[in-house]
Structure 1
């Protein structure tokens, strides 16, 4: 179909973070301005250019055929290839990926359109970068977009009406059963007085640019609750998850410090968690943010450790205090010798590096006892304690001995793992 319509071009610079990592963020900002100027020259009077965020731009062109939209996108690709940027004697050649969504003027939804162009752009990147791709909607994708758009409305209402809530899951010292701190878990209030876990709504929040507001809500309210509970429990500590969006914020440490000071919470009472995949993807920037937060006095935990292809290689660059072993190595630990070797290795590396190790998804006593034998410091999971609306004060009993674990296994077979 080549009818007259309108089009949204979603542009993402390829390998932009290499400029930031090599020459710093001011250099990246200068490159962004140069790209913006070039896009305006390329499009001229044919469309409107806007920076969408980070290294992303959008171009809106009206009253064009699909073939014309393609021509404009190809011209953008060509002009970007010719654009060279010089920083500190380094020459950077700029490439980009472009996703194009044609607009139905009779049935137009802003959020859905952005999602379509974004999907097409990601497909262009996955197919080799430095190319364009039109959005083509499958039935499954259509259902996903409708669902995500529905979440966007709910999330915006939740931000405006304070409809998020927090749950707290204890983390214990395996040798003593003493609670060391609680992980703060975000939940969304539902209409039936139940709560919704973040797996259901965070993908939509990321896609539609709502993570910044959600991160701010989480940090602000977690610190506020910590201050309230510390009046009766001065040793209480919280662990708070930070998203990629938070670590891309230039003044993350300043934002956190302002809320700590405002509520009278010492920095050492807070641990911030970052996933391994995020750390690898933004290693140079994350490294600086971690250093800044540690200088403030906070501690850092690397979550989901062990799933990355180069986990041990980059660990020495990240000055974290805790390593959280991904649950995939813990769920079947009692029955899987390979998982046991992996967990033991992580424990030994953590000990050598002066980092404490935390095992997630601990579901039963035999697993907890085996973790103690393998040298893991801390544990978290339903066997330790489920998430609650108020931080628990109940400590765990010291785990059963390895001999008792082996005896129990013989009595009940080897099927003691509880899912």
Structure 2
């Protein structure tokens, strides 16, 4: 078989060329790799064992060192206690109390001489000194060496003890170490001086060897300029040995350590040295807190030879055991792998025959490989699988020709798909271009050519960055683009202005994505641009509308009040006066009712132009809402304000408006209030001007009235009392009733729900709108009663309709005070339960003003009401940017677009852009939309295209009283 195999290999040079030039059998690779792994395991295990033994040894040495430190500290403490006891006994020695009371040197010396010698020999006392209460030395016993410890320092100790009458135990190490006790002398409870007793520390420290068994030495650091003594010294460390156990052996060990570790600080953590086949550990012991100068150090020498020998022996045994195991494992592995890998090698060398379609030869080669094993293993399975594979490959090769024809057909389909993708890029309403690694444009789609007016050929090879108009905010853009192209980041999103071929500028939102490159010619980045020009214009329009009235282009109420507040602050700061003129058009409701809202809008625009022409350039004009205007006159006098009012009235008298054959003249009543005389804040000043305007109306319309403080309270009270009585009378005689205005679902063209509008019947039969009595109700506190009445009546009506088998939804306006009414929620819950009405049929309308005073309280109440099943509508949506804040902060379901944007929608492109933007914002937040003031079919058609959900207005249906509404039958019940 081997002969045939090699013969086949020679005949097929292509097969031989597939083999590597250098061949190493799988068996040897497995053995080599296994040996390396086992060796690494043995080495790692030995190293870990050694490190663990060393760590255990170090921990034991640390514990032993702490024990040594405790023993030394105990010896020093015991010495100090003995000295304290001796010092306390001195006054009780025979004759010493009398000598100390006399406090004369001769008497003390004569008496204490009898005790000095016994104390020297029996107690080892080396120094005794007596001092008076005035810190004067009275008597002295001891060797001259004791003076080396410093008379001045000892005198300081004496002063301290005399002052505090408390003993101290200082430790002093200069030429030698001595333990001192400085104690007050008390005779019959009276302090008569101080005694200083000193004893050498050498004997106490050397007693450490008897306790621990380790050698110990006492080192004293030599001063730099001090003369060198003749004692034992270690010059490398700059120390003198004051005491040392086992002197000759220990001194040799210390010299060896000083040679290997010249830095004395190494001894703090301990060092190891070897001398004469013995291992020694040397480590410092602190003398404690009584050695502040650190001139003396204790050093302990411990023999650790036995421990080191044990660690080395254990480590060597582990290593040898591992190596023997490694050798045995390799031999066993070699025996196990030899036969199966030989069979596997035969299969491997036969496999190249398959590459040249020699299927029969391959199968005959395997079949002649020898006798099969009685028990199958993986090699037998591989052998059978290889034969099966040869049959499968032979079958597949026969199918290649057929598949080639099919592949050609598939290529045609892929070509069509490529054309489809190309067409898709061209018709996509976004700019799509690719850039190479250098940031140069490679491809541009058709929409991009149309938008920026450059052709793809004109831009190919030009840097993308040249298309943009870089401002200060985009100075880092080139670097960020380079990060995408160089694969440092995946995407980049930014906005930038692009300069078109006709020099026009368009605002584009760009999204750059990194592309996977297979060659240097492939694009590195895909750039997709969305034209945001119209969206930005709409944003600008929204920003403008936040401060302006869209009909007259004047400041709106919010911005006007801000200007007035700023003017009041300036007037207070610089002490000048000004005036506020409040205009209310006369008979404006009559013009709206007879000629329609378009006539009213035209009249408002005309009045705005005439007022602008009649005031100074420094004056500020605004429309506060409806038919109300106001003018701020800075730095003026009452006479000047009156003159401006007269000029405005004269200018307005010249204006005429003719609609459908009817001629209307502009006329207004003007209220004048001065600041700071009539008010130093916006609220008071507007209230004063408003009251003055009503005075002008009562005087005959078309005139002016200057507010006076005398009539302020009287007029306001008169108004409040008048309307309070009307409201209470209406409650008593049930003169409140509802109007209903239908709201259509635009998609279905069906009436979806009705807005409930409150009206009040006056004594003369006049129907009063809410704006006439609601302000008085809010000021007198009757607004809560009105809210409760509206809720009860509407819920009762809804329950009646529901019980008759019909469903209807009501939209009810809540006042701004409803969110501060603690009874609102209980009444609402109780009324729903009492009448059995469905809360999901009720929708409550709120305005920004209602939520503005206390947003957290409003949100909490709304969330609670929504748990009942009710829903909420945000009214006047879009008037200010705050609407966008509330749509996110409040749990509302529907937003009602303000009628000022809808009324002229069919004729005003700006309003169309704005309403579409408002709808997109609301839809993006998942809210439905309602458009009010829908008064024509053209407006309705535009709203349908913009996908507005609901429509309300005179074109849909006018408000009708309850007895004329679809619910009249239910009211009779």
Q: TM-score, normalised by structure 1?
A: 0.59
2:829 counterpart of 1:236? no
1:126 maps to which of 679, 682, 692: 682
The corresponding residue for 2:760 is: 188
Aligned counterparts of 1:240 and 1:184: Cα–Cα separation in 2: 5
1:306 maps to which of 878, 881, 886: 878
Matches within 5 A, 1:80-99: none
The corresponding residue for 2:728 is: 156
Give the match's secondary structure for 2:821. coil
Aligned counterparts of 1:196 and 1:298: Cα–Cα separation in 2: 29
Please report how far the alpha carbon of residue 250 of structure 1 lies from its aligned counterpart in structure 2 after TM superposition. 2.9
The corresponding residue for 2:938 is: 366
1:262 maps to which of 814, 834, 857: 834
Aligned counterparts of 2:788 and 2:915: Cα–Cα separation in 1: 34
Q: Is the 8 A contact 1:170 1:384 kept in 2?
A: yes
2:825 counterpart of 1:253? yes
Give the match's secondary structure for 1:320. coil
Aligned counterparts of 1:322 and 1:281: Cα–Cα separation in 2: 21
Find the structure with the greater CA-based Rg.
2
Give the match's secondary structure for 2:709. coil
The corresponding residue for 2:957 is: 385
Deviations 1:191-249 (A, max 9, x none): 34442111111111112221011111111111112222333352111111111221112
Aligned counterparts of 1:367 and 1:306: Cα–Cα separation in 2: 18
The corresponding residue for 1:416 is: none
1:349 maps to which of 917, 921, 932: 921
Please report how far the alpha carbon of residue 145 of structure 1 lies from its aligned counterpart in structure 2 after TM superposition. 4.9
Aligned counterparts of 1:140 and 1:308: Cα–Cα separation in 2: 33
Matches within 5 A, 1:257-336: 257-336=829-908
Cα distance change on mapping 1:364 and 1:137 into 2, 3 Å: farther
Quick one: higher RCO (CA 8 Å, sep 6+), 1 or 2?
1
Aligned counterparts of 1:393 and 1:176: Cα–Cα separation in 2: 20
Q: Is the 8 A contact 2:759 2:768 kept in 1?
A: yes
Please report how far the alpha carbon of residue 172 of structure 1 lies from its aligned counterpart in structure 2 after TM superposition. 0.7
Cα distance change on mapping 1:344 and 1:262 into 2, 3 Å: same
Aligned counterparts of 2:847 and 2:776: Cα–Cα separation in 1: 19
Please report how far the alpha carbon of residue 332 of structure 1 lies from its aligned counterpart in structure 2 after TM superposition. 1.2
Q: Is the 8 A contact 2:819 2:850 kept in 1?
A: no
Please report how far the alpha carbon of residue 177 of structure 1 lies from its aligned counterpart in structure 2 after TM superposition. 1.6
Aligned counterparts of 2:766 and 2:915: Cα–Cα separation in 1: 35
2:737 maps to which of 156, 165, 172: 165
Cα distance change on mapping 1:205 and 1:179 into 2, 3 Å: same
Deviations 1:108-136 (A, max 9, x none): xxxxxxxxxxxx9x9555389xxxxxx95
Matches within 5 A, 1:67-82: none
Cα distance change on mapping 1:236 and 1:144 into 2, 3 Å: same
2:778 counterpart of 1:206? yes
Give the match's secondary structure for 2:955. coil
Matches within 5 A, 1:2-81: none
Give the match's secondary structure for 1:316. helix
Aligned counterparts of 2:823 and 2:761: Cα–Cα separation in 1: 30
Aligned counterparts of 2:729 and 2:966: Cα–Cα separation in 1: 34
Give the match's secondary structure for 2:960. coil
Aligned counterparts of 1:281 and 1:354: Cα–Cα separation in 2: 26
Please report how far the alpha carbon of residue 389 of structure 1 lies from its aligned counterpart in structure 2 after TM superposition. 2.7
Aligned counterparts of 1:356 and 1:364: Cα–Cα separation in 2: 22
Q: Is the 8 A contact 1:188 1:196 kept in 2?
A: yes
Aligned counterparts of 1:361 and 1:125: Cα–Cα separation in 2: 35
Aligned counterparts of 1:172 and 1:293: Cα–Cα separation in 2: 25
Cα distance change on mapping 1:335 and 1:142 into 2, 3 Å: farther
The corresponding residue for 1:57 is: none
User: Structure 1, unaligned stretches of length 5 or more?
Assistant: 1-119, 129-134, 395-419
2:749 maps to which of 177, 180, 202: 177
Give the match's secondary structure for 1:302. strand
2:718 counterpart of 1:146? yes
Aligned counterparts of 2:868 and 2:889: Cα–Cα separation in 1: 19
Give the match's secondary structure for 2:903. coil
Q: Is the 8 A contact 1:226 1:236 kept in 2?
A: yes
Aligned residues: 269
Please report how far the alpha carbon of residue 278 of structure 1 lies from its aligned counterpart in structure 2 after TM superposition. 1.8
Give the match's secondary structure for 1:288. helix
Aligned counterparts of 1:144 and 1:362: Cα–Cα separation in 2: 38
Q: Is the 8 A contact 1:277 1:308 kept in 2?
A: no
After superposition, the CA RMSD in angstroms is 2.8
User: Structure 2, unaligned stretches of length 5 or more?
Assistant: 1-675, 685-706, 968-973
Q: Is the 8 A contact 1:303 1:323 kept in 2?
A: yes
Q: TM-score, normalised by structure 2?
A: 0.26
Aligned counterparts of 1:289 and 1:144: Cα–Cα separation in 2: 33
Aligned counterparts of 1:314 and 1:260: Cα–Cα separation in 2: 28
Please report how far the alpha carbon of residue 393 of structure 1 lies from its aligned counterpart in structure 2 after TM superposition. 5.4
Deviations 1:316-354 (A, max 9, x none): 111101101111111111122222122111211221222
Cα distance change on mapping 1:283 and 1:372 into 2, 3 Å: same
Aligned counterparts of 1:195 and 1:235: Cα–Cα separation in 2: 29
Aligned counterparts of 2:709 and 2:907: Cα–Cα separation in 1: 44
Aligned counterparts of 2:793 and 2:817: Cα–Cα separation in 1: 18
Aligned counterparts of 1:314 and 1:276: Cα–Cα separation in 2: 8
Please report how far the alpha carbon of residue 381 of structure 1 lies from its aligned counterpart in structure 2 after TM superposition. 1.1
Q: Is the 8 A contact 2:932 2:953 kept in 1?
A: yes
Q: Is the 8 A contact 1:159 1:213 kept in 2?
A: no
Give the match's secondary structure for 1:172. strand
